[in-house]
Amino acid sequence: SSELTQDPAVSVALGQPARITCQGDSLRKYYASWFQQKPGRAPVLVIFGKNNRPSGIPDRFSVSSSGNSVSLTITGAQAEDEADYFCNSRDSSGKHLVFGGGTKLTVL
């Protein structure tokens, strides 16, 4: 079982904010990264570190944290944001990396 927990599915109406959460004890100490994966495609990094977006990632993607939980927020979800989202971080030992189980985002 993963040391990072994500809700399996989240739905959001077009244009509304979407929030995807990742929980794990290691998140109290280490930053998480977030990846978007569309069917048949390789994952794409969307957020890393405190709140860093790689070049080309829209500014509607942001991250916040509280305790052992990190949340990816999409302000004004678009149809093209429909995808699987995965968080990752170090595990509780700090020596290895681990992914959350993933969240399927549906934009209605």
Partner 1 sequence: EMQLIESGGGLVQPGRSLRLSCAASGFTFDDYAMHWVRQAPGKGLEWVSGISWNSGITGYADSVKGRFTISRDNAKNSLYLQMDSLRVEDTALYYCAKDEGSYYGGAFDIWGQGTKVTVSS
List residues near partner 1 by CB under 8 A: 2, 30-33, 35, 37, 42-45, 48-49, 52, 54, 84, 86, 88-90, 95-102
CB of residue 106 vs partner 1: minimum separation in angstroms?
A: 17
Output 16 or 106, the one with its CB closest to partner 1.
106
**Shortest separation between residue 2's beta carbon and partner 1, angstroms:** 8
Residue 25 to residue 11: CA distance in whole angstroms: 26
Question: Of the two residues 16 and 52, which places its CB atom closer to partner 1 in the complex?
Answer: 52
Rg (Cα) of the chain, in Å, rounded?
13
Q: Give the angle subtended at the CA of 29 by the CAs of 26 and 32, to the nearest 5°.
A: 70
CB of 14 to partner 1, least distance (A): 26
